[in-house]
Amino acid sequence: MRFSNTFLDDIRDRVPISNVIARRVSWDKRKTNVSRGDYWACCPFHGEKSPSFHCEDRKGRYHCFGCGVTGDHFRFLTELEGLSFPEAVQQVADMAGVPMPLADPVMEKREKERGSLIDVMEMATQFFQDQLQTANGARARAYLRDRGLTGRTIETFRLGYAPDSRNALKEFLAGKGVSKEQIEACGLVVHENVPVSYDRFRDRIMFPILSSREKVIAFGGRAMSSDAPAKYLNSNETELFHKGNVLYNFARARRAIQGPGRGDPQDDNASGTIIAVEGYMDVIALYQAGIENAVAPLGTALTENQLELLWKMVPQPVLCFDGDGAGIRAANRAAELALPHLKPGRSVRFALLPDGKDPDDLVRDDGRAPFDKVMSQAKPLSEMLWSREINTGKFDTPEARAELEARLKQLVAVIADENVRRHYQQDIRDRLNAFFQPQFQNRNNGERRAFNGNGNFRAGRDNPSKAGPKSPSIISDRLARSGPVRGHQANTALRESVLALTVVNHPALMIDDYDEIAAIEYDSRELQRLWSAMLGAAAAVAGPHLTREYLTERLEFEGFGPLIKSLDQQVRNARLWIATEEAAMEDAREGYRQALASHKRAKALRRQKNELEREIALATEAGDGEAIVQLMRAQQEVHFEGVRLENQEAIIDGFGVLSGRVKGAANH
User: pTM of the entire structure?
Assistant: 0.56
Q: What confidence score (pLDDT) does residue 104 get?
A: 61
Residue 217 confidence (pLDDT):
94
- CA dist 619 and 634 (Å) reads 14
Confidence of residue 653 (pLDDT cuts 50, 70, 90): very low
Summarize pLDDT for 160-212 with one digit per residue, the tens. Answer: 999 999 999 999 999 999 999 899 999 999 977 767 889 999 999 999 999 88
pLDDT of residue 486: 40
Q: CA-CA-CA-CA torsion for 624, 629, 634, 639, nearest 10 degrees? A: 120
Please tell me the predicted confidence (pLDDT) of residue 631: 65
Q: Mark out the alpha helices in 457-559 (DSSP H runs).
A: 477-481, 483-486, 494-505, 509-518, 525-539, 548-557
Distance in angstroms (rounded) separating the CA atoms of residues 592 and 339? 34
Q: Provide the pLDDT for residue 444.
A: 40
Residue 445 pLDDT class (50, 70, 90 cuts): very low
pLDDT of 6 higher than 90? no
Residue 159 DSSP label: -
Identify the band that residue 3 occupies on the pLDDT scale cut at 50, 70 and 90. Answer: confident
Average pLDDT over residues 644-659: 44
Residue 360 has pLDDT above 60, yes or no: yes
Q: Is the pLDDT of residue 659 over 70?
A: no
- Write down all domains in the chain, each with its CATH number in brackets: 5-96 (3.90.580.10), 105-241 (3.90.980.10), 250-389 (3.40.1360.10), 445-473 (no CATH), 484-653 (1.10.860)
Q: What are phi and psi of 160, to 5 degrees?
A: -145, -170
Query: What average pLDDT does this structure show over 440-455?
Result: 38
Per residue in 601-646, pLDDT (tens digit) is 777 777 777 777 777 777 787 777 776 766 676 666 656 655 555 5
The mean pLDDT value for 61-74 works out to 89
* Average pLDDT of the chain to the nearest whole number: 80
Q: pLDDT band for 108, please (50, 70, 90 cuts).
A: low
**From CA 651, how far away is CA 498, in angstroms rounded?**
8
Q: Which residue has the higher pLDDT, 95 or 464?
A: 95
pLDDT at 110: 64
Name the band, by pLDDT with cuts 50, 70 and 90, for residue 549. Answer: confident
